[in-house]
Amino acid sequence: MTRLRRAALVGNPNAGKSALFNALTGARQKIANYPGVTVERKAGRLVLPSGEPVELIDLPGSYSFDTASPDEEVTRKVVMGDFPGEAKPDALVVVLDAANLEQHLVFAQEVIELGVPTVVALNMIDLAERDGLVLDPDALAQALGVPVIPTVAVRRRGLEELIAAIGTAETLAAARDHDAPRPHITLPERRLTASNIAKGAILSESAEHRIHAGLDKILLHPWFGPLILLAVLFVIFQAVFAWATPFADALDAGAGALSGLVVSNFPEGFLRDLVTEGIIAGVGSVVVFLPQIVILFAFILLMEATGYMARAAFVMDRLMASVGLSGKSFIPLLSSFACAIPGIMATRSIADPKDRLTTILVAPLMTCSARLPVYGIIIAAVIPNTRLAPFVGLQGVVLFALYIAGIVGAMVVALVLRSSVTKGAASGFIMELPRYQMPILKDLLIGLWQRAWVFLRRAGTIIFAATVILWLLLTFPKADPGESQVDASFAGQIANAMHPVFEPIGFNREMTLALVPAMAAREVAVSSLATTYAVDSEDEDKTLAALQGKITAMWSLPTALAFLAWFVFAPQCISTIAVARRETNGWKWPAFMVGYLFALAYVFAGLTYWAAVALGL
C-alpha cells in the first residue's frame, strides 16, 4: 500500500450518482475545479473493510464516451486516464438506475469494455420495486461479467457490500484478465445487448408507474404547467423576502451587540474604530443576507432533487426558443439567480457552442444573490411595507419586479445577440426528464452547506479586504475641524472625481463611492455604504437598521430607484468575469460582456431617474 487507491463513480445522468456519492463519503468532501475547465471535481474518502482508505471521485453524468458536451468530455478523459494531472482510477463504479436498465446498460457496457476493474451499483432498487419491477442482480452480474450490488443510497442499503466489492474489484479483474482483447462493438449492437440483458434481469414487471405520469399530466400541461411554474417562482421570491427576516434581524442584532461589546471593552482609538466601523459594520451588513441566500439555494436544490427542474426547462423551452435559446438554458439561468458563477459553469451541459456562449453572456443579468443585499436594504428603506393581499406585500412585489426586469433584459439581449454576434442555426432541445423523487434531506443539507460556505468565505476574504481598504481610504487623511470626514478622505476625493459621470443619472456621492468596491463583489456596495455612513456619523450605531434609516432620510425616491435599476444590469463582479474568461477561453467575450452591461446599467439607471423625477416621485 504505497499510494492511495482511487475509484470513480460513473453513470448516466439521473442514476442517483450524487446521492450514492454522498452516502459513501459523508459530508467530508473536497470540491475543486478540474484544471483548465470549470467542471467540479468532487472527491471524498471511503474506508475498505481492510481499513485501507480509498479516494472516491464523482464524475459528471454521461450517456456515452462518444461525447457531446464539455462535462461528458471530462468523464471520458478521466476514465481513460487522458486527463492531465488526474491519475487513471484503479476501479470504476458504474451507477445504474434499476428502473431504467435497458437505457443505462448501454453506457455501462461501454465502461466495462474498458477493462478497468469495475463494480456495478444497481441503484434506486426501491424505486424500481415501487414501480413494480422485480430484478435479478445475479443474472445481471453473470451477463455483464462484473459484480452487481443492489443499493439504495438514501436508506444506506447495500453500501457495505458495495464498498467490499470495490476493495476486491482489482483482484477479481486480475483473475479475469486472460480474456481476449474485446472486439469493437457498435452502438446498435450495444443497444441490442442492453435490451437483452435487461430482459434477462427483469423477473417481473407490472404496469407503468402512475404517480409519475399523473404529475407530468399536471406539471407539463400546456396551460397549467406555465402557470404552476410562475406560481412556484413567485412563492420562492416571496419566501426569500419574508421568511428570512427573523433570521436576518437576529444576525443584525448580533452584529450590533458585538459592536457594543467592542466599544465598551476597548479604549477609544484607531483599532477600535477599524473593528466597529470597518469590519463589523462592513462584513456584518453582508453576512445578514445569509438567510436569504440559503432560502434561495434551498428552493433551487429542492427543484433539482425532486426532478421538477427538468419539467421547468420543458415548460420554458418555447419561451427560450423565441429568443434563440432552448429550455436547457433555463437551468443555468435559474442557478444564476443564486450566483452567476455556478450558472455559467452549468452551461457546460449545453452542447451547441453558440447557445452556450449566449447563455454565458446573459447569465449575469439574472439577479444573483449578491444583489439581494443591495435590493434588500434599499427596498426596506424607501418602499413602504404595505399589504396588497394576504401574504403579498408591496416590498415583495417590487423585488419580484426587479427580478422580472433582469429576466426581460436577458431575453431581449439574448434575442439581439442571437441575431448578431452569436448568429447561427436554431439549437435543438433534447433532455431526459428524470422520474420524480422525494428529496433527501441529507443531500439537500450538504448542498446548502457547500453554498453557504462559499458565501461566508467571500464575506471573510474579498468583502473583508474591500471593507478594510475602503475604511482606511475613508479615514485618511484626517479632516480639519469643521470639515466632513468623507469630504476630506482619499475615498471622498475619488468619488468627487467620478461623481460628474454619475450625477446626471441621479447618483449621490456615497453611491458613486460604493460602485468602486462593488466590482469586487456586488454586496460590498451595501457594506461600503454602511462604512461610509458610519465614518461620517457621530453615534455608535453601525447596524443595518441605522444604514436603512440614513437611506430613508438622505436619498430621494428617484435616486434610490435609479440605484436599483443600476444593479439590475450592473457590471458583474470580478469572479464572474474570471469564470467567463475561463469558459470562453479568452478576454474577448468577458470584455464584451462588461461593456454591454455597463452601458445598459447607465442608460437604465438614467431612464429610471429621469422618469421618476418627471412623475414627481
Partner 1 sequence: MTLETLPIGQRARIVAVDWERIAPEDGKRLRALGIDEGARIAIAHRGVLGGRDPIALMIGRMTVALRRAHAEAMTVEHL
Closer CB to partner 1, 5 or 191, in the complex: 191
Among 226, 254, 260, 549, binds partner 1 (CB under 8 A): 226
Among 40, 73, 90, 131, binds partner 1 (CB under 8 A): 131
Is residue 90 a contact point for partner 1 (CB under 8 A)?
no
Is residue 106 a contact point for partner 1 (CB under 8 A)?
yes
CB of 429 to partner 1, least distance (A): 5
Q: What x-and-dash track marks residues 243-272 binding partner 1 by CB under 8 A?
A: ------------------------------
Determine contact, residues 259/542, Cβ cutoff 8 Å.
yes
Among 83, 429, 563, 596, binds partner 1 (CB under 8 A): 429
∠ at Cα 356 (324, 233), nearest 5°? 70
∠ at Cα 400 (396, 404), nearest 5°? 170
**Distances 316 to 25, 330, 331 between C-alpha atoms, Å:** 36, 7, 10
- DSSP letter assigned to residue 274: I
Going by C-alpha positions, the residue among 291, 279, 284 that lies closest to residue 254 is 284
Is residue 172 a contact point for partner 1 (CB under 8 A)?
no
Among 63, 337, 403, 455, binds partner 1 (CB under 8 A): 63
Chain positions 173 to 192 lying near partner 1, rule: CB under 8 A, are 187-188, 191
CB of 414 to partner 1, least distance (A): 17
Among 314, 400, 589, 596, binds partner 1 (CB under 8 A): 314
Going by C-alpha positions, the residue among 384, 397, 324, 393 that lies closest to residue 355 is 324
CB of 226 to partner 1, least distance (A): 6
Residue 613 and residue 133: Cα distance in Å, rounded?
A: 67
Closer CB to partner 1, 350 or 383, in the complex: 350
616 backbone φψ class: left, alpha, beta (φ>0; ψ -120 to 50): left
Determine contact, residues 108/63, Cβ cutoff 8 Å.
no
Residue 149 and residue 126: Cα distance in Å, rounded?
A: 13
CB of 198 to partner 1, least distance (A): 9
> Can you tell me whether residue 602 is helix, strand or coil?
helix
Pick the stretch among 169-177, 257-265, 310-318, 572-580 that binds partner 1 (CB under 8 A). 310-318
- DSSP letters of 44-108? EEEE-TTS-EEEEEEPPP-S-SS--SHHHHHHHHHHHT-STTSPPPSEEEEEEEGGGHHHHHHHH
Closer CB to partner 1, 64 or 493, in the complex: 64
- Tell me the backbone φ, ψ of residue 288, rounded to 5 degrees: -55, -25
Determine contact, residues 558/613, Cβ cutoff 8 Å.
yes
CB of 315 to partner 1, least distance (A): 6
Pick the stretch among 30-38, 117-125, 221-229, 555-563 that binds partner 1 (CB under 8 A). 221-229
Closer CB to partner 1, 305 or 338, in the complex: 305
- DSSP letters of 192-216? HHHHHHHHHHEEEE-SPPHHHHHHH
Among 175, 180, 207, 213, binds partner 1 (CB under 8 A): 213
* Beta-carbon contacts of residue 278 (< 8 Å; ≥ 6 apart): 467, 468, 470, 471, 472, 531
Is residue 103 a contact point for partner 1 (CB under 8 A)?
yes
Counting every residue written for the chain, the total comes to 617
Among 68, 415, 444, 468, binds partner 1 (CB under 8 A): 68
Question: What angle separates helix 464-475 from helix 509-518, to the nearest 10 degrees?
Answer: 140
∠ at Cα 521 (519, 523), nearest 5°? 115
The greatest distance separating any two alpha carbons of the chain, rounded to the nearest whole angstrom, comes to: 91
CB of 435 to partner 1, least distance (A): 8
CB of 222 to partner 1, least distance (A): 5
* Beta-carbon contacts of residue 540 (< 8 Å; ≥ 6 apart): 259, 260, 263, 276
Among 430, 545, 574, 578, binds partner 1 (CB under 8 A): 430
Closer CB to partner 1, 310 or 459, in the complex: 310
CB of 234 to partner 1, least distance (A): 18
CB of 413 to partner 1, least distance (A): 22
- DSSP letters of 315-342? HHHHHHHHTT--GGGHHHHHHTTT-HHH
Closer CB to partner 1, 285 or 329, in the complex: 329
Among 310, 357, 410, 560, binds partner 1 (CB under 8 A): 310
Pick the stretch among 257-265, 308-316, 383-391, 403-411 that binds partner 1 (CB under 8 A). 308-316
Closer CB to partner 1, 74 or 473, in the complex: 74
Is residue 323 a contact point for partner 1 (CB under 8 A)?
no
Among 82, 432, 483, 487, binds partner 1 (CB under 8 A): 432
Pick the stretch among 58-66, 269-277, 338-346, 606-614 that binds partner 1 (CB under 8 A). 58-66
Determine contact, residues 282/531, Cβ cutoff 8 Å.
yes
Closer CB to partner 1, 193 or 575, in the complex: 193
Is residue 415 a contact point for partner 1 (CB under 8 A)?
no
Among 135, 313, 340, 341, binds partner 1 (CB under 8 A): 313
Q: What x-and-dash track marks residues 267-306 binding partner 1 by CB under 8 A?
A: ----------------------------------------
**Distances 220 to 131, 179, 316, 322, 427 between C-alpha atoms, Å:** 21, 49, 10, 19, 21
* Beta-carbon contacts of residue 282 (< 8 Å; ≥ 6 apart): 463, 464, 466, 467, 468, 470, 471, 524, 527, 528, 530, 531
Contacts to partner 1 by CB under 8 A: 63-64, 66, 68, 99-100, 102-103, 106-107, 131, 187-188, 191, 208-209, 213, 216-217, 220-223, 225-226, 310, 313-315, 317-318, 321, 327, 351-352, 425-433
